[in-house]
Chains A and B, each alone.
Chain A
Amino acid sequence: MKKITGVLVLSLVLVFVYNSCKKEEKTVSPPDPENEFLTTVQLIITNASDPTDKQTVAVKQMPDEDIDYSDATINLKKNTVYDVSVKFLDETTNPAGDITKDIYDRRNYHLICFNVSGAKLTVERTDKDTNTPALEIGLEDKFTTGDASSGSLNVQLRHQPNAKNGSCEPGSSDADVDFPVNIN
């Protein structure tokens, strides 16, 4: 009988232990402020022969919201050369965080890839990383337009750790967005 009592006392102690445990789950950890979310792919497009002819377009997606193309349309003049900077932003914070710098710091693992469909547009990357031999990055580019046309430009941020070889194939996409393009 003594032993049954023992078992019961032990059970009660354990039940007590249950309830006295810290309830860590009640503290939901907020997002790490140091971690940046890639919310926006931005193109800053400047006419190479007219610096005042400058436009900024972006495809944006805030957490739990649909993707936003309202500022995404690129309007270009025919037979013109443009200097283009690609930016990646975290707009969940104010002011927006700039992820471009993180990507540039790890430029030997990243490649920006462009695919034009429909429009008469060619894209050349103008920047290089520090791989041997140096490979293109694509954060800085030259757009050259042809005749009037329209279509779309697909921009991908390829993440290629230990695999970058100049082609878009290795690795995976951290960003993959389409910009509508009009050339007039």
Chain B
Amino acid sequence: MLLLPALSALAQDCSLDLSGYITDTDTKEKLSGATVLIRETSQFMIAQSNGFYRFERLCPGTYTLVVAHVNCDTLRVVVKLDTTTRQDLQLPHSRKQLETVTITGERKQDIATNAITEIKARQLFSVSGQTLGESLKSIPGLNSIQTGPSVSKPVIHGLHSNRLLILNNGIRQEGQQWGTEHAPEIDPFIASKITVIKGAASVRYGSDAIVGVVLVEPKALNPEKKLQGETNLVAGSNGRAGAVSGLAEGKLTGALNGFNWRMQGTLKRAGNFRTAHYYLKNTGLAEDDFSLGSNYKNKKENFGAEVYYSGFHNKVGIFEGSHVGNVADLDAAFKRERPLTASFFSYDINRTYQDIHHQLLKIASFYKIKNAGKIEAVYAYQKNKRDEYDIDLPYSSDPETLKLPQVSFQIKTHTLDLVYHPEVKNNFTATYGVSGSTQGNVFKGIRYLVPNFRNYGGGAFAIERYTKKKLSVEAGVRYDYRWLRVYKLNNNTLETYYNTHTYQNITGTVGNTYRFNDKFSVSANIGSAWRAPSVNELYINGIHLSAASYEKGDSSLRSERSYNFTLSSRYETNRFFAEIVLYDNIINNFIYAKPALQPITLINGTFPLFNYTQADVNLRGLDLELQYSPVSQLAVNSKVSIVRGWNKDIKDYLVFMPADRLDNTLKYQPGNWHTLQNCYISLQNITVLRQTRVPPNSDYVPPPKGYSLFNVSAGFEHPVKHKIFSVELAAYNVTNVAYRDYLNRFRYYADDLGMNIVLRTKLTF
């Protein structure tokens, strides 16, 4: 079967040439060092310095050219060859322009006037093996809140957890997002692109999108071959960490034409991580994830369906030195130069640890109605199980009880979304949708933390956009309803009783983008977002072990609402790029844990008491990125992130706001060297200032002093037959600085990570 097309080709005139020039769409520059691969024949070549490429002795037929360049997005072009052909190729510049999204054939964001940034291709490769939270820190305005080296959550414009929405392959990630030590249960290796929308985006995505949305998106399942894929291998010196990830996909032929399949899996392992001077005991990690997907498109391409299933499982050790019983322990831990725990390397994961399972099933389909647009239906089911084992065994002589986690949550979520995109008419594009969800939470545990609950949610939205020449204007509106019933047990009568809460909100967005010319554009967006209080804010009543605090919820809390103003501007020429984002996010009824004046005394000691309450706050800030290339081989890039959080009710700063951050990179890209392509070497400095704007009595210790880290990385791509082999060697914190970061909750107990040398390889076949 496989030989047939080749045989029939033999009979033909196989002497055709395919050649042309490769240029950058935006800068019109000839792209030297661009690589061109013919998928069908696996022929591979590198364009000359004037951007010229040429394939000889080709048979007539249809070929897929895959064109790649370090500065550009990969382009796929189908060429039908029946005579010697000149085919010039234009590569879209891989800047964050939304325009490039359409060129590569992917869907535009439904709300386009927010500040949107994408991480993909080479950038994504350079963060492979890291947690999702860490991967995003290269984007101005983003940070991560950490609980030790392996638990990290993204922070956008100062806020995180359930004020930020994460979409895993299009589905809202639903777990116990409220906890700062509850990292997103997503394998970043599934993504070929991570998109970050900075700004209130409830209109499209529903509640919780107060500061933004992170979309973790796999590559569209549209393989050109019967079997293709990639393998990633990442090894890190710190924690002696390793990750292996593989992806295989293909299209089916014959009777099953139209069907594609994909399998993907990741294994990760790490042992005790090391700070500049000592190991952190019990900080290992073991993770195993997989995903399976299949889709179908009919011949007319007006109907398609997709099934996707992913399983995530990890076991994360929690640094032993972070275990404190009460404030006296915490104070003692903070006063120590270094933790009392023994400093050694081990892969063992002992108590305290988290054991987390997350499963996602997605079934989606679309139908294109002739001259009327496209309708999409997406159903998803998620099951999240989180078990947390404290350092202590429970007090019991029953062997079964001794094995139980102290805290165990299970949450199951069903969601159904229907979206309709009418045909583009008279420069108008639109998106209409309805969505529904239900969620059941079951808490089991020895320490009471949060109650069981059931919730139902429903919403409907409409977004319209008008685009003409230099101007595009968009507006949207949404209505959401949420019903929450909380089940609790009366400890004396052992009878279950319940409380019911309902929330409803209308949100809206308006925005416009004006393109003065192809170099300069300005966007403005006003958006609103909301979120219902989470169950911990309503009902928590107990000790937060890793923070040595006692938290009390308030069941009368109301919805939180934000009004976000974003102004962004971009200027881009051949040699210069600048983007500035200014924002003011006004959040009314902002829910936070307010320190009480009196501590609470319990049998296990004295704890500061925090009561959940609401206030009107605002977060203002600036994200800035500048890049200058004096010559094409050299680029200087600077990023600045500044955020200020202010509580208007108590007239003081908000606690735990990211400190000002500067990220400067000098990159040298000599291009090709012998058989190696796209070689580069870069030096990066990350400087984080001390956070000086903190309210009194909200934290145990003052914020740590600022720090400055140096990172070095070098990499290249190497074509091996029809495969592409990518390599990067990076060293982080090369000067092995001992530092502590304000947003790492383990800064009370230990330094942050010391030097880490990471080797990344990727083979695309």
Contacts and interface: CB of A to CB of B under 8 A. Distances in A.
B365 A176 contact: no
B414 interface: yes
Contact of B377 (A7, A40, A61, A174): A7
B454 A36 contact: no
A176 B604 contact: yes
B395 A11 contact: no
A175 B442 CA distance: 29
B376 to A, nearest CB: 9
Contacts of B396: 32, 34-36, 102
A162 to B, nearest CB: 8
B349 to A, nearest CB: 14
The size bracket of the interface on B is 35 or more
A172 interface: yes
Interface in A146-184: 159, 161, 163, 169-177
Contacts of B488: 28
B494 interface: yes
B329 A173 contact: yes
A128 B397 CA distance: 21
B605 A173 contact: yes
A172 B324 contact: yes
Contacts of B496: 26-28
B442 to A, nearest CB: 5
A74 interface: no
A60 to B, nearest CB: 8
A172 B546 CA distance: 11
Interface in B598-652: 601-606
B603 A23 contact: no
B491 A64 contact: yes
Interface stretch (B143-151, B386-394, B736-744): B386-394
Contacts of A7: 365, 367, 375, 377
Interface in A27-75: 27-32, 34-41, 59-61, 63-64, 67
A173 B328 contact: yes
Interface string A64-106: 1001000000000000000000000010000000010111011
Interface string B440-464: 1110101000011110000000000
Nearest to B406: A35
B401 interface: yes
Nearest to A157: B604
A173 B601 contact: no
Contact of A67 (B325, B375, B392, B603): B603
Contacts of A103: 395
Given A3-B367, A61-B603, A67-B601, A29 B444 contact: yes
Contact of A10 (B377, B392, B414): B377
A67 B341 contact: no
Contacts of B416: 11, 14-15
A21 B367 CA distance: 29
Contacts of B404: 32, 35
A38 B395 contact: yes
Contacts of B446: 31-32, 35
Nearest to A106: B393
B398 A4 contact: no
A60 B603 CA distance: 7
B373 to A, nearest CB: 12
B334 to A, nearest CB: 13
Contacts of B604: 38, 173-176
Contacts of A35: 394-396, 401, 404, 446
A25 B441 contact: yes
- Sorted from nearest, which 4 A-B pairs have the closest CB atoms? A173-B325, A172-B325, A176-B605, A34-B398
Given A173-B605, A175-B605, 5 more contacts: A24-B410, A35-B396, A38-B603, A163-B341, A175-B603
11 contacts: A10-B377, A25-B452, A25-B453, A34-B396, A35-B394, A36-B395, A61-B602, A90-B395, A101-B397, A175-B603, A176-B326
Interface of A: 3-4, 7, 10-11, 14-15, 17-18, 21, 23-32, 34-41, 59-61, 63-64, 67, 90, 99, 101-103, 105-106, 159, 161, 163, 169-177
Interface of B: 303, 320, 323-326, 328-329, 332, 340-342, 351, 365, 367, 369, 375, 377, 379, 391-398, 400-401, 404, 410, 412, 414, 416, 418, 436, 438, 440-442, 444, 446, 451-454, 487-489, 491, 494, 496, 601-606
